[in-house]
Amino acid sequence: SQQGEEDPQALSIQEGENATMNCSYKTSINNLQWYRQNSGRGLVHLILIRSNEREKHSGRLRVTLDTSKKSSSLLITASRAADTASYFCAPDKAAGNKLTFGGGTRVLVKP
């Protein structure tokens, strides 16, 4: 597997605002996944977008994928304090592969 690089490293917003973070990767993928990690806890799978998809929604999450630019974005709309966490992307090639995580984007949602 390959490591995705998240950008920005950190993001601070007010509750109710939208948060956008980006992920870049280097080689072709089958899918790209986004995970969230609350401080000191396990990672939680948020959403998966396949290489033949350009956009996907899940609740307040919107993910885009541009395979020509090898990049993805995650948008959290109407953020809540509970969205405070680190977010990681994981470009993936095949089922069962290990995931390789970068430094993530640390999101702080202020009440």
Distance from C-alpha of 28 to C-alpha of 92, rounded to nearest angstrom: 9
Closest to another protein by CB, 25 vs 35, is: 35
Kindly state whether residue 82 participates in binding another protein, applying the rule CB under 8 A: no
Binding to another protein (CB under 8 A) within 45-74 occurs at 45, 48
The pairing of beta strand 10-14 with beta strand 105-110: parallel
Residue closer to another protein (CB basis): 37 or 73? 37
Residue with tokens 């069962």, as numbered in its chain: 96
Of the residues 20, 22, 24, 31, which one makes contact with another protein according to CB under 8 A: 31
> What are the contacts of 44-49 at 24+ separation with CB within 8 A?
46/74, 46/87, 47/74
Q: Contact positions toward another protein, by CB under 8 A?
A: 30-31, 33, 35, 37, 40-45, 48, 88, 92, 95-104
